[in-house]
Amino acid sequence: MSGEQTRAALISAAIQALREDGFAGSSARVIAARAGCNQALIFYHFGSVPDLLVAALEQVSASRLDAYRGLLGHTATIAGLVDAARTIFAEDLAAGHVRVLTELISGAQSVPGLGERIRACLDPWRGFAQTAMASVLADAPVQVPAEQAAYAVVAGILGLELLAQLDGDQSAALAVFDQARDFGAVLDQLRPLASLLRRKQGGS
């Protein structure tokens, strides 16, 4: 097997391990067993276990960001955006992409310097979320800064992942998305009424 193949197999195994064994259970031996290769190769290719885990996060993050970027600009309404996001998030839940992140955030507490590197991986997401929120909140019926909205959405996704993981059930998390879509649709419809309200308040 070529070096590149082994690297890829280890990264894939690390993702699986974080998903199914958690950060605490993602030891070099466990990951190597999942990859079907020797434990020493982790240190040869990546230097240390945390370094491999970060590489795994970087790969997942980059590939999923591509998927989500496809959403941007294709919808002008809140409901449309939520709807599109739901589809991709359903994939994430099923494949455990977000869990890679939540496990690493939790685990970062026990490895000095790890938090900084995870934050670097998460930063593009924050920018993306902010752009997406800004595009849809620009003429929203309620004044909501894109910054706070984006922060809340990212937090919400992380939290939904944690709960889905705890319950071993994703349907409740997806139901929240469905509800958010309906809620967003009402906001979309309320735009004219809300601008009326704003004028009334501004004059008081």
Partner DNA sequence: GTCTATACTTGGATAGAC
Partner DNA sequence: GTCTATCCAAGTATAGAC
Binding region for DNA (CB under 7 A) out of 11-19, 25-33, 133-141, 180-188: 25-33
CB neighbour class for 98 (10 Å; exposed up to 12, middle 13-18, buried from 19): buried
Three-class DSSP category at 148? helix
* Number of residues counted as binding a second copy (CB under 8 A): 55
Asked if 48 is part of the footprint of DNA (rule: CB under 7 A), the reply reads yes
> Residue 123 interacts with a second copy (CB under 8 A)?
no
Amino acid at 182: D
Site for a second copy in 35-94 (CB under 8 A): none
Q: Going by C-beta distance under 8 Å and a sequence separation of 6 or more, which residues neighbour residue 79?
A: 181, 182, 184, 185, 188
Give the C-alpha distances (Å, rounded to integers) separating 113 from 62, 64, 80, 104: 21, 24, 39, 12
Please report, as residue ranges, which positions from 55 to 84 form the binding site for DNA (by CB under 7 A). none
List CB contacts of 3: < 8 A, sequence separation 6 or more: 45
Q: Report the residue from 39, 58, 80, 115 that binds a second copy according to the rule CB under 8 A.
A: 115
Which region among 28-36, 60-68, 132-140, 169-177 touches DNA (by CB under 7 A)? 28-36
Helix, strand or coil, per DSSP, at residue 26: coil
152 binds, among DNA, a second copy, none (CB under 5 to 8 A by kind): a second copy
- Residues of this chain that interact with a second copy (CB under 8 A) are 19-25, 102-103, 105-110, 115, 118-119, 122, 142-145, 148-149, 151-152, 154-160, 162-163, 165-168, 172-173, 175-176, 178-180, 182-183, 186, 189-190, 193-194, 197
